[in-house]
Each structure stands twice: as structure tokens, then as C-alpha cells.
Amino acid sequence: METVIKAVIVYAVLWAILRIAGRRTMSQMTAFDFVLFLLIGSAMQRALTGQDYSLTNGILIVGTLIVIDVGLSLARRDWPSLGKVLKGVSTIVVEDGRPLPWRLKRARLHEDDVLEAARRHHGIESLDQVKFAILESSGEIAILPFEQPRHGARTKAEKAE
């Protein structure tokens, strides 16, 4: 029973650490971040197993962590408000080509991060071309560009003339 309690505590602590670290941490992992996560995993393994390195203890730990994860995913599905707490919500960081500084700051993003995602996914050269940039709960930046006029179609400005 002690192993199950340790697994629950470790799961909760790791969840809290990742939530505090922010969404961008996981989506933009550097080589150092990867090594850091390996070290955390190693340290947590030692904390979970203590001196018991038996196969039974290892299976019990893995099983407990999986049951917690599946249970929380089912709870998120059934209670959307709990899902917002556990997974987070998407945040609009650019609207109609204008960066929203307070949201960028809260998300620990810079305009350059948004522009990089816009260039990578849509070939966009400036934020003026971005209708919405959304920091998803996964840490990715989704870019919704302004609609481009179809080839041969007239824009509103051209129609007004």
C-alpha cells in the first residue's frame, strides 16, 4: 500500500510542477530540458521504489500511475470544469494583428515566438497578417491568418471603389 501512496504523491507533484512550469515548457524542449526530465524521472524512480526493486513493485507503480492518468482523463471528459483545471485552456495572444501584451507576458511568450510559428506554418512575415494566434493547452501556437482573397476575387476595398 505504501507504494501506491507514493505513486499518487509523485503523480500529483509532477503534475503540479509541469503546470507551474507552463505550457511552453513541453512544446519547446531543449536538449538540457530533456536531460533534466530524465534526471527527474530517475530521482522519482528512486523515491517510488525506495529499496524495493522487485518486479512486483515496479508493476504496481506503473499500474497506479496509469490508473490515475486514465481516471483523470475520464473525469476531464465528464466534468469540463475539471478539465480546465487539469489541462488548462487555450489563450488568444494575438488578435486582429495586434499582440495582447498581458496575455503574452502571462504565457511567458514573446512576439517573436508567435511570429516564428506564423512563419513556420503559414509563411507569414508579420503579425499584421495574423487574425488570431492561440496558445493551445498543449503549448503549441496555432495561427489563424486573415483570409486571403481567392485568385481573381475582388477584396472589399476593391469593391468599394
Tell whether pTM > 0.85.
no
Distances in whole angstroms, Cα of residue 156 to Cα of each of 36, 46, 127, 160: 53, 65, 21, 6
- CATH number at 91-145: 3.30.240.20
- Distance in angstroms (rounded) separating the CA atoms of residues 2 and 143: 47
- Interstrand relation of 98-99 and 141-145 (parallel, antiparallel or unpaired): unpaired
Closest-CA residue to 98 (of 139, 136, 63, 131)? 131
- Distance in angstroms (rounded) separating the CA atoms of residues 89 and 134: 10
Q: What SS3 class is residue 8?
A: helix
Q: What residues of the chain score a pLDDT lower than 50?
A: 150, 153
- Distance in angstroms (rounded) separating the CA atoms of residues 86 and 11: 12
What are the domain boundaries of the chain? 2-87, 91-145
What confidence tens digit (pLDDT) does each residue in 86-133 have? 778 889 999 999 999 999 998 888 999 899 999 988 888 889 999 999
pLDDT the model gives residue 59: 83
pLDDT the model gives residue 98: 95
